[in-house]
Structure 1
Amino acid sequence: MMSRGLLLLRRIVRQLWFRVVAISLFSLLALAVAPLLAPVLPQEWEDRFGRDAVLPVLTILASGMLAVTTFSLNVMVSAYRTASSMATPRVYRLLLEDTVTQSVLATFTGGFVYSLSAIILFRAQLYPPGAAFVVFVMTALVVVLIVVAILRWIDHLSDLGSMDHTLRLIETRTCTSLQARKDTPCLGGCCGTSAPPSDARPIAATQSGFVRYVDMAALNARADEAGVTLYLTRLPGEFVLRGRPVAVAEGADEAFCEEACDLIDIGDIRSFEQDPTFGLTLLAETAQRALSPGVNDPGTAYEVMGRITRLLWENLPEDTSATKAKADYPHVHLPPVTAKDLLKVSFPPIALYAEDAPEVMAWMETSLKALEHHSNTAMTEAAREMRRSYFDAQ
Structure 2
Amino acid sequence: MTIPPTTTLETPQNLPEKPPLHTLLSTHDFLHAASLSFPPKTHAFVTSAATDLLTHRSNSSTYSLISLRPRILRDVSSVSIRTSILGSPVSSPVFAAATSLGITVHPEGEKEIGRACKRMGVGMTVSTSASFSVTDIARAAKETEGEEEIPLWFQLYVDKDRSKSERILQQAVEAGVKAIFLTVDAPVPGKREADERISASEAVGLAKGVPMTGEKAENDKSGGGLGRITGKFLDASVEWEDIAWLRGCLPESVKIVLKGVQTAADAVKAMEHGVEGIVVSNHGGRSLDTATPTILVLLELHRCCPEVFDRMEVLIDGGVMRGTDVFKALCLGASGVGIGRGILYGLAYSEEGVRKYVEILNDELETTMKMCGITSLDEVHPGLLNTRAVDHLVPETVDEEHPYAKWRPSMRKKAA
Given the two structures, how large is their TM-score scaled by the length of structure 1?
0.21
Decide which structure has greater helix share.
1
Larger radius of gyration: 1
Given the two structures, how large is their TM-score scaled by the length of structure 2?
0.20
